[in-house]
């Protein structure tokens, strides 16, 4: 009867709400993890660049290094997210 249809409809609305909340939480967590991974990678690579000898920077252009650092970590962020 009508009560059975109403209860099925209510259950369906509850399932949709749970799925929507779970999807939003998954998106938030994946994006947060991606941002943290990229931040950690940038920090580690930048610390490694600072530890290199000055002769390395005579042969490598620092602007290209920073550009690669930014571009490569952005690619990793896209892959993770």
- pLDDT band per the 50, 70, 90 thresholds, residue 6: confident
- pLDDT band per the 50, 70, 90 thresholds, residue 14: very high
Q: Where are the domains of the chain?
A: 2-80
Distance from C-alpha of 21 to C-alpha of 10, rounded to nearest angstrom: 17
- Check pLDDT > 80 for residue 81: no
Q: Give the C-alpha distances (Å, rounded to integers) separating 58 from 34, 54, 55.
A: 34, 7, 5
Residues 52, 33, 31: CA angle, nearest 5 degrees: 120
């Amino acid at each position: 009867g009508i009560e059975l249809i109403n209860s099925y409809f209510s259950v369906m609305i509850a399932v949709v709400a749970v799925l929507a909340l779970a999807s939003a939480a998954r998106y938030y967590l994946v994006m947060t993890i991606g941002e943290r991974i990229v931040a950690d990678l940038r920090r580690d690579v930048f610390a490694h660049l600072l530890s290199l000898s000055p002769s390395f920077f005579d042969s490598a252009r620092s602007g290209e290094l920073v550009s690669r650092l930014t571009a490569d970590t952005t690619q990793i962020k896209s892959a993770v997210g």
